[in-house]
C-alpha cells in the first residue's frame, strides 16, 4: 500500500508565491513611482528656485561718479531755467529792509500770507527807526495773520533796533553782519544778500532740501551741510537763481506728498521718478500756482511772471484764492 502524499503544504506554498511576487512587484512599483515622482519635482523645484533667485538678485546699479553727478545736477538746473524763466523771490519788497522783515515773518507760514500782511506793516513803519520805536502790541496785531506773532514781533523790532543802533539804519550786505541780527539765520541772510544786493547765496528752505535729496545731490538733512554740498556742485554765479528755480519747482510740481511725476519736465533725470502720480492727465491736476492756473504768492509779482501767465495774489480780505497747498 502506497503512502499517501500530502500536497496541502505544497499547494499553500505555490499559492503563496504569486502573492509574494505581487507584493514585491507592488513594493517595487511603489518605490520606483516615488523615485520617479520625486526626481522631476526636485528638478522643477531647483529650476524654479534658480529662476526666482535670478529675478531677485539683479545686478546692483553702478554708483554715480562725482563727475556724472555734477553733470546731471547742472543739466537739471538748465532744464529748470527753461521751465521757470520768471523764477523770483516770492516775497513782495521794495528795499532791503522790507525783504529782511518779510523773510523773518515767513517762518512757519506761506509767502502769500506774509505778502498780504506786510503792506499795512510797512505803511505804518517804513524805516528801521520807525519799527524800533513802535508799540509792541500794535505790531503784534498787524502781523497776527502770519502766526507766532509775539515771537516774530520781538525779532523784527529787535533787528530794527540793531539796524538803527549798529548800522545807521541800513541793512548790511555781509553774511557775518546779517546773522548777528535777531531772528536772522543763514537762510534769511542769503535771501537778502542774493535778492537785495546781488551777492550769491543758496537758500535752503524745506522745498529746496526735499528736492535735492530726491535728486540725490546730497543725503544731508542739516541746512548748513545741504548748502555746502549743493554749493560744491555749481559755480557761485548760479547759486541765487538755482535756489529760486528749485523752490519754484517744489511748490508747483514736485510736492512733498503727491509729486506730479507725470507732468515733470525733468523726470528722465530724477532718481525718485515714480514716487508720485505718473499718469500725465492725473498729474496735470496736481499742478499748483500758475502751472495749475491759480494765483501766485505775490500781490505785486515781476512783469516777467505776469507775461508768462502768472496771476497776482489777492490782498488780505479780498477773498481766498483756490487752495494751492505748499
Ramachandran angles phi, psi of 25, nearest 5°: -65, -45
Instruction: Give which of 323, 326, 317 is closest to 299, Cα–Cα.
Output: 317
Q: For residue 279, what pLDDT is reported? A: 98
- pLDDT at residue 155 greater than cutoff 80: yes
Global confidence as pTM? 0.80
* Burial (CB count within 10 angstroms: exposed 0-12, middle 13-18, buried 19+), residue 102: buried
Number of neighbours of residue 237 by Cβ within 10 angstroms: 9
pLDDT band at residue 62 using 50, 70 and 90 as cut-offs: confident
Three-point CA angle 91, 314, 149, nearest 5°: 55
Average pLDDT over residues 274-297: 97
What the block records as the C-alpha cell of 215 is 535728486
Look up cell 545741504; give the residue.
Answer: 226
Cβ atoms 141, 152 nearer than 8 A: no
Q: For residue 319, what pLDDT is reported? A: 62
Q: For residue 231, what pLDDT is reported? A: 98
Instruction: Give which of 248, 301, 286 is closest to 77, Cα–Cα.
Output: 248
Q: For residue 203, what pLDDT is reported? A: 96
What the block records as the C-alpha cell of 74 is 547742472
Q: For residue 317, what pLDDT is reported? A: 82
Would you please indicate which residues are annotated as catalytic (active-site) residues?
A: 187, 205
Cβ atoms 101, 119 nearer than 8 A: no
Q: How far apart are CA 80 and CA 68, in angstroms?
A: 18
pLDDT band at residue 34 using 50, 70 and 90 as cut-offs: very low
pLDDT band at residue 43 using 50, 70 and 90 as cut-offs: very low
Q: For residue 15, what pLDDT is reported? A: 43
pLDDT band at residue 26 using 50, 70 and 90 as cut-offs: very low
Q: How far apart are CA 183 and CA 103, in angstroms?
A: 10
Cβ atoms 252, 194 nearer than 8 A: no
Q: For residue 321, what pLDDT is reported? A: 53
- pLDDT at residue 324 greater than cutoff 90: no
- The model's pLDDT over 218-276, given as tens digits with 9 standing for 90+, comes to 999 999 999 999 999 999 999 999 999 999 999 999 999 999 999 999 999 999 999 99
Q: What percent of the chain has pLDDT over 70?
A: 79
| String of DSSP letters for 92-129 | --SSHHHHHHHHHHTTTS-HHHHHHHHHHHHHH--SHH
What the block records as the C-alpha cell of 70 is 555734477
Helix, strand or coil for residue 35? Answer: helix
Average pLDDT over residues 74-78: 98
- pLDDT at residue 30 greater than cutoff 50: no
Look up cell 544731508; give the residue.
Answer: 220
Helix axes 206-214, 223-231, angle to 10 degrees: 60
Report the chain's mean pLDDT, rounded to a whole number. Answer: 86
Number of neighbours of residue 20 by Cβ within 10 angstroms: 9
115 alpha-carbon distance from chain centroid: 25
Average pLDDT over residues 131-141: 98
Amino acid at each position: 500500500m502506497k503512502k499517501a502524499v500530502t500536497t496541502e503544504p505544497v499547494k499553500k506554498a505555490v499559492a503563496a508565491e504569486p502573492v509574494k511576487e505581487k507584493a514585491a512587484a507592488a513594493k517595487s512599483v511603489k518605490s520606483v513611482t516615488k523615485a520617479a515622482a520625486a526626481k522631476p519635482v526636485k528638478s522643477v523645484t531647483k529650476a524654479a528656485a534658480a529662476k526666482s533667485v535670478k529675478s531677485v538678485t539683479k545686478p546692483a546699479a553702478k554708483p554715480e561718479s562725482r563727475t556724472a553727478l555734477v553733470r546731471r545736477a547742472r543739466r537739471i538746473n538748465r532744464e529748470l531755467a527753461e521751465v521757470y524763466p520768471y523764477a523770483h523771490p516770492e516775497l513782495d519788497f521794495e528795499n532791503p529792509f522790507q525783504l529782511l522783515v518779510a523773510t523773518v515773518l515767513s517762518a512757519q507760514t506761506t509767502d502769500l500770507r506774509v505778502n498780504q500782511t506786510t503792506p499795512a506793516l510797512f505803511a505804518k513803519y517804513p524805516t528801521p527807526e520807525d519799527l524800533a520805536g513802535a508799540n509792541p502790541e500794535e505790531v503784534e496785531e498787524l502781523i497776527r495773520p502770519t502766526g507766532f506773532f509775539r515771537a516774530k514781533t520781538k525779532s523784527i523790532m529787535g533787528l530794527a533796533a540793531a539796524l538803527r543802533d549798529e548800522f545807521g539804519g541800513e541793512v548790511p550786505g555781509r553774511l557775518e553782519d546779517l546773522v548777528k541780527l535777531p531772528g536772522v539765520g543763514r537762510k534769511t541772510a542769503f535771501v537778502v544778500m542774493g535778492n537785495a544786493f546781488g551777492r550769491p547765496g543758496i537758500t535752503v528752505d524745506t522745498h529746496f532740501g526735499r528736492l535735492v535729496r530726491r535728486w540725490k545731490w546730497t543725503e544731508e538733512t542739516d541746512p548748513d551741510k545741504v548748502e555746502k554740498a549743493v554749493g560744491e556742485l555749481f559755480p557761485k554765479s548760479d547759486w541765487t537763481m538755482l535756489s529760486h528755480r528749485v523752490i519754484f519747482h517744489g511748490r508747483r510740481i514736485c510736492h512733498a506728498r503727491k509729486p506730479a511725476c507725470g507732468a515733470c519736465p525733468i523726470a528722465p533725470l530724477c532718481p525718485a521718478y515714480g514716487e508720485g502720480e505718473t499718469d500725465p492727465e492725473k498729474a496735470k491736476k496736481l499742478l499748483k500756482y500758475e502751472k495749475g492756473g491759480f494765483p501766485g504768492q505775490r500781490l505785486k509779482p515781476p512783469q516777467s511772471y505776469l507775461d508768462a501767465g502768472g496771476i497776482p495774489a489777492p490782498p488780505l480780505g479780498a477773498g481766498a484764492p483756490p487752495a494751492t497747498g505748499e
